[in-house]
């Protein structure tokens, strides 16, 4: 007796000294599935597709011939399935005695596919018998169908996916005769359907019911797809819960697919994806199932067109519109009105802004007081006309109050109130060293930033030390004193309540070195005079 697939897998695993746990960890297959493979229990697999995948992985891991094992698995599965199921059987070879027909063109095969879905049994229909003619096979309920439709539906088209024992057996002569009778009426119908000329609205509206009667409805197509999926699932002894766990689709959606209720799904795109996953899990022909689903969508679209064409058309206006009515549409008028209103609003807003700015300028001119610079310049001019300080004086007296001056009618001077404190404002013009002492306390010492201003107030005096007199402008008790000095001139000023003091540096006598004492020359003895004769 030959070894089974499971025995060969187990023998190879034991020969390699491996345990099931090690194999499950290496192949990522659950331990119960590996045990089922070694026991030849393929019914424990979630599906036939997954069973073949597990067998391929396990055989590759053990180093066995994968293709040979899969062939044996298919043969074993074919022996267990019933012989009457034509979905898994191979097509039987055609009888050579019967005449072979030429392969129809692709568009004709598509037409036949659209009309060969099994429909629900109609009440009162007559069951066809073997050997009966084609006219006797037509049910009584189809008596009102036009001759073209009757010949199209009663021709040599055989419903898809039926068992072999349900097909009626007819003599060869009758088949040839029926084909010859049914062929001519179908040609005009196909010419009308596939003609490139565009039919009129009235003709298309009248022909839609006639065409729809030749094709199955969308409900029948969807129900046929669902019935095929349910039959396949029941054949594999799978429950919806198991399918939901493997396909990742909710149970109520799977139930809706099997019932043909595709309208209950979120969208046609999602329905197509769910149907593709479900058909692939059940090892069905995914392309064929999706093609039938697309035909169902086309049928539903035709049904909706029939519903809309059945509605009474709206009354058409008679007569031509006037010239300005045809040119000025409603949306054009509304758009122009919006643009015009927006333009008017922009112009009005700009006018309001300019008017407001003009009013503010007028109010500012009316309420504007003389600037402090003008007053200070006028004060300095008057002060220079009255007193001219000499540079040799150490003590500068404060200019006389402005009240004693006789004002001229051409200039009105601002008289500041008397102050009981010393107030000094310093405007920094250039960068220099600055040190300010208020009542003997240092308030500022450093290099200020040009353009900044400092204000100091003291009760007795304010002393200013500047490294460059030209870098600072001083305003003393609201009187502009100008720059403190020249460029690079070190200036020290003391501002009090009565005057501005310039301290004079005290001359420190410099010690002179005492010359060292010199030696007193010693008198040398005088030689006595010599006589001439000696």
| pLDDT tens for each residue of 232-257 | 888 888 888 888 888 888 889 999 99
Q: Which of the listed residues 311, 327, 353 is the one where a domain comes to its end?
A: 311
- Residue 248 placed within a domain: yes
- Residue 131 placed within a domain: no
What's the confidence (pLDDT) of residue 363? 83
- Residue 525 placed within a domain: no
Let me know whether 301 and 413 are in one domain.
Answer: no
Q: How far apart are CA 451 and CA 453, in angstroms?
A: 7
pLDDT at position 304 over 70: yes
pTM higher than 0.85: no
pLDDT at position 492 over 80: yes
Let me know whether 276 and 192 are in one domain.
Answer: yes
pLDDT at position 175 over 50: no
Check if the beta carbon of residue 261 is closer than 8 Å to that of residue 223.
Answer: no
Q: Which residues pair with 496 in a beta bridge?
A: 461
Q: For the residues of 19-76, what is the DSSP string, one character each?
A: -HHHHHHHHT--HHHHHHHHTT-GGGSS-HHHHHHHHHHHHHHHT--HHHHHHHHHHH
Let me know whether 109 and 64 are in one domain.
Answer: no
- Residue 97 placed within a domain: no
Let me know whether 109 and 49 are in one domain.
Answer: no
> Predicted confidence band at 343 (pLDDT cuts at 50, 70, 90)?
very high
Q: How far apart are CA 410 and CA 407, in angstroms?
A: 8
Lowest mean per-residue pLDDT among 14-23, 122-131, 473-482: 122-131
- Residue 512 placed within a domain: no
Check if the beta carbon of residue 480 is closer than 8 Å to that of residue 490.
Answer: no
Let me know whether 307 and 392 are in one domain.
Answer: no
Strand order in the sheet with 491-496: 395-397, 499-501, 491-496, 461-466, 434-438, 441-446
Range of the domain at 57: 5-80
Which tokens hold the place of 375? Answer: 């007053």
Q: Which of the listed residues 288, 311, 334 is the one where a domain comes to its end?
A: 311
Buried b (16+ CB within 10 A) or exposed e, 372-407: eeebbebbeebbeeeeeeeeeeeeeebbeebeeeee
What's the confidence (pLDDT) of residue 45? 84
Which uninterrupted H or E stretch holds 273? helix 268-281
What's the confidence (pLDDT) of residue 49? 78
**Model confidence over 119-169: pLDDT tens digits?**
444 343 334 444 433 333 333 333 334 444 343 333 343 344 444 344 444
To the nearest whole number, what is the mean pLDDT of the chain?
70
Please state, for a pLDDT cut of 70, what percent of the chain lies above it: 55
Three-state secondary structure string covering 63-127: CCCHHHHHHHHHHHHHHHCCCCCCCCCCCCCCCCCCCCCCCCCHHHHHHHHHCCCCCCCCCCCCC
> Predicted confidence band at 171 (pLDDT cuts at 50, 70, 90)?
very low
Let me know whether 284 and 397 are in one domain.
Answer: no
Q: Token match 């000023």: residue?
A: 493
Q: How far apart are CA 277 and CA 184, in angstroms?
A: 43
Q: What is the CATH number of the domain that holds 19?
A: 1.10.260.40
What is the pLDDT averaged over residues 438-455? 90
Q: How far apart are CA 238 and CA 253, in angstroms?
A: 16
> Predicted confidence band at 322 (pLDDT cuts at 50, 70, 90)?
low
- Residue 489 placed within a domain: yes
What's the confidence (pLDDT) of residue 355? 92
**Model confidence over 405-429: pLDDT tens digits?**
444 444 434 445 455 788 899 999 9
Nearest to 463 by CA among 426, 428, 409: 426
Check if the beta carbon of residue 216 is closer than 8 Å to that of residue 114.
Answer: yes
What's the confidence (pLDDT) of residue 218? 84
Q: Which of the listed residues 276, 311, 346 is the one where a domain comes to its end?
A: 311
When divided into structural domains, the chain yields a total of 3
Let me know whether 296 and 432 are in one domain.
Answer: no
**Model confidence over 29-61: pLDDT tens digits?**
888 888 888 888 888 888 877 888 888 888 888
Which tokens hold the place of 409? Answer: 């009618």
Best-predicted range by mean pLDDT among 92-96, 220-224, 302-306, 339-343?
A: 339-343
pLDDT at position 479 over 50: yes
What's the confidence (pLDDT) of residue 79? 64
**Secondary structure class of 477 (helix, strand, coil):** coil
Q: Which residues pair with 396 in a beta bridge?
A: 500
Let me know whether 114 and 262 are in one domain.
Answer: yes
> Predicted confidence band at 382 (pLDDT cuts at 50, 70, 90)?
low
What is the pLDDT averaged over residues 273-285? 90
**What is the C-alpha radius of gyration for the chain, rounded to an integer number of angstroms?**
59
- Residue 56 placed within a domain: yes
Which tokens hold the place of 73? Answer: 């698995």
Let me know whether 291 and 183 are in one domain.
Answer: yes
Let me know whether 75 and 111 are in one domain.
Answer: no
- Residue 137 placed within a domain: no
Check if the beta carbon of residue 276 is closer than 8 Å to that of residue 286.
Answer: yes
Let me know whether 232 and 196 are in one domain.
Answer: yes
Nearest to 82 by CA among 228, 284, 231: 231
Let me know whether 112 and 187 are in one domain.
Answer: yes
**Model confidence over 193-232: pLDDT tens digits?**
445 444 444 444 455 555 555 677 888 899 999 999 999 8
């Amino acid at each position: 007796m030959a070894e089974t697939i499971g025995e060969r897998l187990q023998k190879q695993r034991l020969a390699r000294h491996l345990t099931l746990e090690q194999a499950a960890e290496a192949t990522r297959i659950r331990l119960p599935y590996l045990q089922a493979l070694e026991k030849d229990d393929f019914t424990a697999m979630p599906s036939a597709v997954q069973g073949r995948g597990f067998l391929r992985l396990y055989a590759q891991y053990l180093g066995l011939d994968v293709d040979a094992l899969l062939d044996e698995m298919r043969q074993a599965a074919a022996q267990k399935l019933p012989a009457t199921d034509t979905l898994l059987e191979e097509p039987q070879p055609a009888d050579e005695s019967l005449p072979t027909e030429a392969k129809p063109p692709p568009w004709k095969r598509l037409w036949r596919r659209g009309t060969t879905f099994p429909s629900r049994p109609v009440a009162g229909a007559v069951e066809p018998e073997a050997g009966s003619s084609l006219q006797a096979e037509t049910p009584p309920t189809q008596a009102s169908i036009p001759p073209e439709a009757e010949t199209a539906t009663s021709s040599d088209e055989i419903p898809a996916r039926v068992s072999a024992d349900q097909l009626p057996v007819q003599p060869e002569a009758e088949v040839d005769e029926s084909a010859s009778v049914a062929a001519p009426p179908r040609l005009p119908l196909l010419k009308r359907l596939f003609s490139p000329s565009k039919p009129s609205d009235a003709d298309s509206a009248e022909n839609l019911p006639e065409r729809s009667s030749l094709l199955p409805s969308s409900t029948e197509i969807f129900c046929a797809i669902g019935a095929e999926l349910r039959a396949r699932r029941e054949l594999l002894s799978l429950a919806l819960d198991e399918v939901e766990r493997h396909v990742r689709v909710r149970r109520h959606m799977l139930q809706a697919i099997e019932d043909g209720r595709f309208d209950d799904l979120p969208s046609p795109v999602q329905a197509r994806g769910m149907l593709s996953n479900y058909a692939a899990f059940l090892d069905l022909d995914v392309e064929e199932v999706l093609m039938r689903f697309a035909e169902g969508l086309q049928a539903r679209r035709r049904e909706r067109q029939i519903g809309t064409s059945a509605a009474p058309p709206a009354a058409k206006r008679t007569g031509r519109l006037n010239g300005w009515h045809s040119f000025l549409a409603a949306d054009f008028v509304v758009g122009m009105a919006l643009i015009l209103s927006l333009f008017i609003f922009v112009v009005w807003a700009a006018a309001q802004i300019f008017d407001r700015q003009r009013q503010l300028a007028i109010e500012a001119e009316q309420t504007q007081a003389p600037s402090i610079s003008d007053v200070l310049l006028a004060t300095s001019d008057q002060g220079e006309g009255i007193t001219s300080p000499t540079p040799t004086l150490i003590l500068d007296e404060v200019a006389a109050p402005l009240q004693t001056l006789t004002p001229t009618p051409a200039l009105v001077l601002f008289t500041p109130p008397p102050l009981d404190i010393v107030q000094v404002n310093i405007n920094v013009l250039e960068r220099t060293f600055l040190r300010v002492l208020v009542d003997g306390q240092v308030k500022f010492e450093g290099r200020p930033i040009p353009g900044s201003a400092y204000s100091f107030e003291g009760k007795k005096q304010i002393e200013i030390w500047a490294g460059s007199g030209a870098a600072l402008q001083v305003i003393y008790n609201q009187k502009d004193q100008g720059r403190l000095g020249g460029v690079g001139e070190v200036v020290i000023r003391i501002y009090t309540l009565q005057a501005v003091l310039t301290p004079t540096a005290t001359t420190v006598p410099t010690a002179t070195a005492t010359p060292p004492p010199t030696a007193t020359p010693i008198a040398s003895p005088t030689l006595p005079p010599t006589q001439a004769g000696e």
